[in-house]
Amino acid sequence: MTKNTKEELISKNSAKLEKNALTVLQKRYLRKDEKGNVIEKPEDLLYRVAENIAQADKIYDKDADVESLTKEFYLAMSSLDFLPKYPYNGESLSRDKILEYLNYINEVQAKEPNKCGRCSRAYYDIKPQKVSLCDLKLKHIMINPHRFWCNIQCVYCSYCAERNEKEFIKTKPYSVKGPIESLFNAGVVDANCVFSWGGGESTILPEFNSLARLLHDKRHVQVLNTNGIVFSETWAYILSKDERTFFNISVDSGTAETYKKIKGMDCFDHVWENIKKYLAAAKNKGSFKAKYIVMECNREHRELEQFINMCLDAGVNSIEYAVDRWQFDRLSEDTIAAVAYLKALVLKYNLNCKNAFTIRNRPVIAEILANHPLPKIM
Ligand code: SF4
């Protein structure tokens, strides 16, 4: 389609999007320049998707009319008659299906190295060569089935912006146990495969406890990213038996007041109680990391100091510091200075610290801090 025809199609058929959908598109999907400014309209995005879907028809029919198919798909999407959804709905996973998908991702990556955007795992777990049937053994499986299935709403959570409350209440999460069992049955799980839970709140999934126990019985290492509001006896049991079990909780505050502002729920003390209960059960006292995402609303020194005091009081010895990942390109000096202050506090008390969130495996915040002197704390 020529540029003019495309512009004409777009101008006559704008997308009827609600405010929430627009926010999500701006945060996650629309193209941005290196400063983080959005540089395309939602219609451009829909057009790109329509064109990509239309091109797939060439695989099956070399005479496919990509131009008119693009128009057809664009109109279906801009009128909201059809929107592509997550392709997966909890069905069994066969060896062939996984292989086909991995090779598809490799092809996409080879053609367009930036397609996977900021994902830290791009070019990490998946290699750009073709995967063959004999070496198909998954070494890391993320159980991340319902990204917006959560019991709180953190201000920085992009998943929350996607959550339509009415739809959310009606939605029932699909089974995660069946698909994981099908992976075992297909023989594609490496003996040392690590399972990590997170993206949405895993502990509220109906099968969390039984699946976590099953993975423990199979001797797999597990990592849980949780908000810590629900205490799982099963997780405490696994922590008590296997020192290779890890969990992380984003506390992001040093006071109940700030916690409530960030998480929308008054659970600060409750979460710390749960952290202490998990740590009391844990065989490996270093199995827990308390995370702090530094933002404008929680970057005061008093707040950071209180957070460290809470960690010391609970016997936490590992901290993960981060910034809001959607703000990487527009971090203010004050936020960077606050991260530096937090890191200086962590060092003062000899705690372990790690930079959470990477872009393509680069620890971006650590790199920024490398050029920023840490303040001296007496
Ligand atoms: S706990 Fe995680 S999934 Fe839940 S609202 Fe916060 S960031 Fe989002």
Confidence band (pLDDT; 50, 70, 90) for 124? very low
Q: Are residues 210 and 71 in the same domain?
A: no
Question: Is 113 within a domain?
Answer: no
- Ligand 1 atom closest to 148 (CA): 3
Name the residue type at position 308. Answer: I
User: What atom in ligand 1 is closest to the CA of residue 149?
Assistant: 3
225 in a domain, yes or no? yes
340/83 Cα distance (integer angstroms): 43
Q: Answer whether residue 264 shows pLDDT above 80.
A: yes
- Per the structure block, which two tokens stand in for 259? 């916690």
Both 216 and 343 in one domain: the answer is yes
Q: How far is the CA of 259 from the centre of ligand 1 (A)?
A: 13
Q: Which carries the bigger pLDDT value, residue 158 or residue 274?
A: 274
Q: Measured in angstroms, how far is the CA atom of residue 199 from the centroid of ligand 1?
A: 7
Query: What distance in angstroms lies between residue 172's CA and the mean position of ligand 1's atoms?
Result: 18
**Choice from 144, 148, 150, 156 to test ligand 1 binding pocket (greatest atom count within 8 A of CB):** 150
Of 155, 159, 248, 263, which is best to mutate to test ligand 1, by the most ligand atoms within 8 angstroms of its C-beta? 159
Same domain, 155 and 227: yes
Clarify whether residues 63 and 146 are in a common domain: no
pLDDT of residue 128: 46
CB 65 within 8 A of CB 50: no
Asked whether residue 9 is domain-assigned, the answer is: yes
Q: How far is the centre of ligand 1, averaged over its atoms, from the C-alpha of 225 (Å)?
A: 10
Mutate to test the pocket of ligand 1, among 160, 226, 249, 291 (most ligand atoms within 8 A of CB): 160
Protein residue whose Cα sits closest to atom 4 of ligand 1: 150
Compute the average pLDDT of residues 257-262. Answer: 97
Q: Do residues 67 and 180 both lie within one domain?
A: no
**Residue 314 pLDDT > 70:** yes
- Cβ proximity of 70 and 47 under 8 Å: yes
Nearest C-alpha to atom 7 of ligand 1 is from which residue? 157
Q: Which residue has its alpha carbon closest to ligand 1 atom 6?
A: 154
Query: What range defines the domain where residue 340 resides?
Result: 134-370
> Which protein residue's CA is at the shortest distance from atom 3 of ligand 1?
200
Q: At what angle do helices 268-281 and 233-241 cross, to 10 degrees?
A: 40
pLDDT band at 270 (very low <50, low <70, confident <90, very high): very high
Q: Whose CA is nearest to atom 1 of ligand 1?
A: 227
- 176 with 257, same domain: the answer is yes
**Per mean pLDDT, which range of 4-18, 325-339, 361-375 is the poorest?**
361-375
- Domain end marker among 78, 99, 117: 78
283 and 140 belong to one structural domain: yes
For the cut 60, the answer to whether the pLDDT of residue 170 exceeds it is no
Distance 47 CA to ligand 1 centre (A): 31
Q: Can you give the pLDDT at residue 268?
A: 98
Q: Which residues line ligand 1 (CB under 6 A)?
A: 150, 152-154, 157, 159-160, 200-201, 227
More confident residue, 290 or 142: 290
| Phi, psi (rounded to 5 degrees) for 192 | -100, 20
- Regarding whether 186 and 269 lie in a shared domain, the answer is yes
Of the two residues 32 and 183, the one the predictor is more confident about is 183
pLDDT attached to residue 322: 86
Ligand 1 center from residue 150 Cα (angstroms): 6
CA of 200 to the centre of ligand 1 (A): 6
| 138 and 229 part of one domain | yes
Residue whose C-alpha is closest to residue 79's, from 144, 2, 18, 15: 15
Q: Which helix (H) or strand (E) holds 44?
A: helix 42-60
Model-level pTM greater than 0.85?
A: no
Q: Which residue has the higher pLDDT, 5 or 172?
A: 5
Give the mean pLDDT of 344-358.
85
Tell me the pLDDT tens digit for each residue of 13-29.
998 887 767 877 787 77
Q: How far does residue 133's CA lie from ligand 1's centre (Å)?
A: 36
Residue 358: predicted pLDDT: 61
Q: Label residue 230 by pLDDT band (50, 70, 90).
A: very high
Rounded to whole angstroms, the Cα distance separating 182 from 331 reads 43
Q: 185 lies in a domain?
A: yes
Cα gap 323→345, rounded to integer Å: 17
Which of 92-106, 155-169, 211-225, 317-331 has the highest mean predicted lDDT (pLDDT)? 211-225
In the reported structure, the alpha carbon of residue 272 is separated from the centroid of ligand 1 by a whole-number distance in angstroms of: 17
The CATH number of the domain where 252 resides is what? 3.20.20.70
* Token pair belonging to 234: 């099963």
* Predicted pLDDT at 207: 92
Higher pLDDT, 327 or 45: 45
pLDDT value of position 33: 76
**Mean of the pLDDT values across residues 154-176?**
69
Listed range (103-112, 141-150, 278-287, 339-348) with the worst mean pLDDT: 103-112
Give residue for tokens 């981060």: 322
* pLDDT, averaged across the chain: 84
Is residue 3's pLDDT more than 70? no
Element (H, E) at 10: helix 3-12
- Higher-confidence residue of 51 and 61: namely 51
Q: How high is the pLDDT of residue 164?
A: 62
Reported as a pLDDT band with limits 50, 70 and 90, residue 160 is low
Q: How many Å apart are CA 322 and CA 147, to the nearest integer? A: 20
Q: Is residue 252 part of a domain?
A: yes
- Number of domains into which the chain is organized: 2
Kindly tell me if the per-residue pLDDT of 252 is higher than 90: yes
* Lowest-confidence pick of 61-70, 197-206, 244-253, 289-298: 61-70
